[in-house]
Structure 1
Amino acid sequence: MKTFHSFGTALTWQSGDQDTELQHWRERIFMTIVNVAALAGSIAVIFNAIAQIKDSNWLMLGITSIAYLWLLSIALFKRIPYNLRAISSIALLYLLGVATGLIAATAGGSRIWLVTASVLATVFLSGRAGAISTGINFVTWLVLGLLFQQGILDYSPTYLETLIQPTNFSLWVATGGTSLVVGVIMVASIAVVLNNLSTALKRSQSLTEDLEEKTDQLQEQTKILARRSQALEISAQISRSLTSILDPEQLLYKAAKQMQAEFGLLHVGIFLVSQSGAEVNLQTSSGGDSGKTAPAPGYHFPLEGGLIDWVITHAQPRAVMEDEDDTTTSLRVKLPDARSYAALPLRARARSLGAITVQSQQPLAFEPDTLAILQLVADQIASLLDNARLFVERETALESERQAYRELTRTAWGDFLRTRPEIGYRRDQDGLTPIGHPGLSQEENPDAAIYTLPIRIRGEVLGSINAQKSSGAGPWTSVETDLLETLADRLESTLDTARLYEETQRRAAQEQLISETTSRMRETLDIETVLETAAIEMREALRLDEAEVWVSTAQSLRTDASAELHAAKG
């Protein structure tokens, strides 16, 4: 069956093919009639010639002889164009009808020849040609009648009398020959038409059966495509619903539930490879009777053969029917009601994360197309699981960094506050006043509303903000408290920035002092001068009462240190 790219092209092809087939029919009918007429007409022409010679009807003898010779020519020479052969044959029949009418008027076979010409014009050419031929024949017949009526055409009464003599056997032979030729032409035409019609009907029936078969195949393909489309939509829904989940355990739990529900499976289990890579753990499952017919989460076993080991090793999905018995297809978590099952590898970034097992009560549930779609879902789950693990690792690392930074901040603020135990300021109607202790006095305004906010830096409380409204001002509104909290947040970051700036300045001063002291000590290469300079610079830099710098042997140092320690204890 041919396939075309457009409906319009198909219609054009069908129309052209039908016209070609019809033309072939006409040519076959024409050749059949011509061959039969040439064979049967030879007998009729012989008897007709004898009768015409006997009656001295030389005109009819000449016309019939020419007609038969032309009939033989178009039967033998097939290179003559079809339209020329067909039109000339119809014209000969027309001439026979006219000639017969001129000689025998209504008593001869003129009408038979004219009617035959109209019928064959329809068969050989077209319905329009047949209608035109019929009209011409009718007009011709009426014209002949008018010509005879007006006496323009004359007829021989003696000849007409012979035409109606039943004892004239030659007349019977002549009219019988005409009837034979016309009958053969009609029978041959109808027989060929019926034969071609039967062939066309058989071909049409064959095409219809072909079309029904193709239609059934198309419907089956449509069903398959619909199932694929539905499965792909389900996989897309599962992927969309899991994208926002960043907790690995919750991700796997929801993935197993959705796969089992959306695909109508008996059981879904998700196994993850242990850190050692020697065994797998059932992380989560859905379907079955967990803990009874199906293992509960936490179930683990070594990777020593079996279906899960095979798919993890080969990184390919594999489906198994219930009657298959092979060591590579065994499944430890197979349920009694499962008639088919499969395992899907979980891989991300060329690493094996584990496998997903799916079980069904249908015997052929995991065909290649279905298995490919399930593997697509498994790949998406593996990618999301890998991303969730990376997110957890990153959050853990960030939390460790935040904790370390909080410790550093706490230590730094502790060192800072040890030099300044309490720092604070109060702003009231008397102006700005430094304070040594936090807290507001309510002795003068016992009804005043006080709002206290902690000052936190990196999660550590280092102070507080105490705000007091005058008596009669009413309670604190949400707008006021929100404003205070915003100011407190800004104060926290500003305080830490200021401390970091002071610490940076202090470290810069220390580095400068160390650099200057080191430079002075390096101004000379004399050991005693270096020691003198070191003692002087250390005392001035640290504002010490006294400073000693001396060198000695290790034994002397140990002896002096022991003596000083003994004196200190005494």
Structure 2
Amino acid sequence: MILSDSSNISESIETASVNAQKMIRGANETLLQNFLNGSLILGTILFFLNLYNAFQQEDTFATIIVFAAYALVFLITFARMIPYTIRVGFLTIAYLLTGVISFYQSGMNANGLLYLLISVLVIALLEERGLWILQIGINTILVSIMSYLINTGIIEVGSSLVENNTLLYWISVIVNFTFLLILTAGPISQFMRTWHRQVEELNLQNDQLTRENLDLQARRTEFEKDFDRRRLRQVTARQISREISHQSDIDKLLTDTVDLIRTQLNYQHVAIFITDERGETASLVAATGEGSQALLERKYRIRVQEPGIINSVILHGESFLSNNLAEETRVNRSFIIPKAQAELTAPLRIGQKMLGALDVQAEQTDVFRDEDIEMLQTIADQLALVIDKATQIQALQEHVANLEESYRSYTRGAWTSHLASIKENLNYAFVNDTLSTEFEPFKISEEAMNNGEIVTAAPGDENNPDSDESIMAVPIVLRDQVLGVLNIKYKGKEIPRDLTALVSNASDRLALALENARLLEQIQQRADREHLVGEISSKLRSATDIDSILRTTAAELGKSLGIDEVRIQLRANENK
């Protein structure tokens, strides 16, 4: 916009310059035409006087020069199609010829010098270039040549000399003097009028350009302020988006977002609404500003289908901007802060899925602009992505936690059943290079199994009566379930860290090995049961009557499964 204004002003200056040049050329052409008109009128008088004098003296050369000068003035006066410069040149030549004829007829005299002076004035006034200097040189050379010719007698002045006391002489002097006055006073007067008019026009143009320049400077300053404001908004939006993109906890994410928007963008009230799964209501989940805490404690919510600004934004998925809430009819007064004058709301959405709305309010009117909509919508889109991502992560974490809890429950139940089926305590001790089943648990073993962490006791500790040996209880943990404990004795006041790490690693590997062995035993037991069921089924298929089938079933189940008593009874009466 500023570049366009600068271009317009440059074009205005160029146009003004071109117009000024056209005005100067027009004034010069008018001045030339006035010169020509005056020269033709007064030259006609001089033409007849000089022509009369030339005929009287029977001077053919003078007659030719007089005719040539008059014809030249007559031609350039009425032939306006001739270029301006050529007409000026011809008029200058005409005065030169008139001066030459004056010198030729009367010798070196004031009239001839006046004609030469007029030729210099004509070219000086009508041509902007420095051609008048060349004209002075030409006149000087011409006067020198005429002086030489007259003094050497080549030109006989006496025969053509007009007597000073004749009527013809005085008429010639009066005409020349009058013409010189008109020639000098007229152009000077016209020049001064034109100059004053052009000065006034230039002053007006200068004033206009000054006003335009001041207006341009004001608009440039406003543009720079607006540019700085937009740049600050963009930087702030990127900063806020970057800050919230690292959050995974939804509650902290929402709280940090409203705080950042309020502090960084200087809004008085910021709120976030999240819709329920069915999209029927939207709850206020985070807010900052006057009265926001009270709304959060009340668990403020709105129905999406009801009238309201936020309701409409969530329902239609389009941003809303109002710089004067006093003129807005859809305002929900139960949510607007008391001093709010403007409101801007952007939808939180992922594709076509609406998650809620981001609402900001200000205490001044006309504070929001179109770029604020884009900025807030950018933050809202980023926030929606992070919320959706955090929601998915939270749901995934809950699902994983449920799976882990199910797996732990399964592991706990499987080992409980497995150990119960063994009907013996599996205790082994390696003491003095001898493996035995005698096991005396440490006092710290129960603590290690209850907490699932390694427990140590130094010599002389309340849990370690030995005075020269340290003890350590390392739980055997499988999927967060404690299967047993490893009790280690070490001669020394402190168990080395590398030994602790080694035993812990061995405990982890032991837990996996035990689980693999249990699974293998479980598979073997299942295979045995399938084989037993197959044998029983084979014997049942060989029986031919019901009594034989029942006898065989009872006997095989008792013998195969080691059951003390098996009873099989068929129902005799449906009514009993």
TM-score by length of 2: 0.75
**Structure 1: unaligned runs, 5 residues or longer:** 560-570
Distance 2:92 2:537 in 1: 136
Contact 2:95 2:115 in 1 (8 A): no
Read off the aligned partner of 1:251 and give its amino acid letter: L
Which has the higher relative contact order, 1 or 2, with Cα contacts under 8 A spaced 6 or more apart? 1
Among 315, 322, 326, the residue aligned to 1:323 = 326
Distance 2:309 2:229 in 1: 27
Read off the aligned partner of 1:458 and give its amino acid letter: R
The residue number in structure 1 matching 2:298 is 298
The residue number in structure 1 matching 2:482 is 461
| 1:231 shift after superposition | 2.2
Does residue 58 in structure 1 map to residue 63 in structure 2? yes
Read off the aligned partner of 1:43 and give its amino acid letter: I
| 1:527 shift after superposition | 3.8
Quick one: structure 1 residues 255 and 336, their matched pair in 2 at CA, closer, same or farther if it must change by over 3 Å? same
Distance 2:2 2:123 in 1: 39
Distance 1:111 1:200 in 2: 35
Does residue 138 in structure 1 map to residue 142 in structure 2? no
- 3-state SS, counterpart of residue 44 of structure 2: helix
Does residue 391 in structure 1 map to residue 373 in structure 2? no
Read off the aligned partner of 1:270 and give its amino acid letter: I
**Please, what is the CA RMSD of the aligned residues?**
4.6
Distance 2:311 2:404 in 1: 41
- 3-state SS, counterpart of residue 484 of structure 2: strand
Structure 1 residues 482-521: aligned runs within 5 Å: 483-484=498-499, 486-488=501-503, 490-510=505-525, 512-513=527-528
Read off the aligned partner of 1:437 and give its amino acid letter: F
Read off the aligned partner of 1:67 and give its amino acid letter: L
> Which sits farther off after the overlay, 80-89 or 342-351?
80-89
Q: Deviations over 1:542-562 (max 9, x none)?
A: 6748998x9874449999xxx
Contact 2:342 2:366 in 1 (8 A): yes
Among 470, 481, 484, the residue aligned to 1:449 = 470
Structure 1 residues 127-526: aligned runs within 5 Å: 127=129, 130=130, 132-138=131-137, 140-142=139-141, 144-145=143-144, 148=147, 151=151, 154=155, 156=157, 168-188=170-190, 191-192=193-194, 195-196=197-198, 198-274=200-276, 277-289=279-291, 295-303=295-303, 304-316=306-318, 317-319=320-322, 321-324=324-327, 326=329, 328-418=330-420, 419=422, 421-424=425-428, 426=430, 431=433, 433=435, 436-437=438-439, 446-471=467-492, 475-476=494-495, 480-481=496-497, 483-484=498-499, 486-488=501-503, 490-510=505-525, 512-513=527-528, 526=541
Quick one: structure 1 residues 134 and 320, their matched pair in 2 at CA, closer, same or farther if it must change by over 3 Å? closer
| 1:164 shift after superposition | 9.8
The residue number in structure 2 matching 1:563 is none
Distance 1:488 1:96 in 2: 133
The residue number in structure 2 matching 1:564 is none
| 1:379 shift after superposition | 3.4
- 3-state SS, counterpart of residue 327 of structure 2: coil
Q: Deviations over 1:69-98 (max 9, x none)?
A: 3313542x2xx4555555555555555566
The residue number in structure 1 matching 2:118 is 113
Quick one: structure 1 residues 6 and 264, their matched pair in 2 at CA, closer, same or farther if it must change by over 3 Å? closer
| 1:68 shift after superposition | 0.6
Quick one: structure 1 residues 267 and 14, their matched pair in 2 at CA, closer, same or farther if it must change by over 3 Å? closer
- 3-state SS, counterpart of residue 323 of structure 1: helix
Distance 1:282 1:465 in 2: 54
Distance 1:300 1:19 in 2: 70
Distance 1:2 1:289 in 2: 44
Contact 1:90 1:120 in 2 (8 A): no
